[in-house]
Amino acid sequence: MLATTVLTGVAGALAWSQLADPARWTATDRGLQMDQVAVADQFGVTLTFMAVAAVGGLLIGFLMGVLARPVGWPLVLAAAAAGGAATLISWQLGMLWGPPDPSSVTGLSAGDMVPDQLAITFPAAFLVWSIASIAGLLPGVGLNPSARAEAREDERRWLAAESATDARHDPFGEVDQVQR
């Protein structure tokens, strides 16, 4: 699962760095400036990260659910941790592969536009990978042959225990047998 998490995080970084449309700085005689419209566009970079994280997290959770043996509550913690690792990978690599820091760009003349560096402006966006990974577990576990076999075995044991409990605690069962 580690390889899947890393590969999904790397794919998420690539997708985020390519799909995000960062705000643009304008070069002026006084340096780089950003107008109000560009400031509002910065949130779009975070939304793109969240969309990529939702898809990637669902994929991680689904694959974990399908492949896990045994299936149990620790799988939820593992999915959350895998989502957290993918978050860090996609965030750091996405910033690395995205546009550079605008202040590091040289040779600009007045009126030139420089894209802003990719950044997350809404801290809760970092939770999307983990939440989506946990959500992806449900359909994955539903398709997991091992989990379905365990569920059938648990149901068989429960029904056997239930019928044994009913036979021991049924006061009328003995009366009915005696009268026959």
Query: Which tens digit of pLDDT belongs to each residue from 36-77?
Result: 777 777 788 999 999 999 999 999 999 999 988 877 889 999
pLDDT in tens for each of the 180 residues of the chain? Answer: 789 899 999 999 999 999 998 887 778 777 777 777 777 777 889 999 999 999 999 999 999 999 888 778 899 999 999 999 999 999 999 999 999 887 777 777 777 778 888 989 889 999 999 999 999 999 998 888 777 677 677 778 888 877 776 656 555 555 445 454
Task: Tell me the pTM.
Answer: 0.77
Give the chain as a DSSP string: -HHHHHHHHHHHHHHHHHH----EEEEETTEEE--HHHHHHHHHHHHHHHHHHHHHHHHHHHHHHHH-SS-STHHHHHHHHHHHHHHHHHHHHHHHHSPPPGGG--S--TT-EEEPPP----GGGGGHHHHHHHHHHHHHHHH-HHHHHHHHHHHHHHHHHHHHHHHHS-HHHHHHHHH-
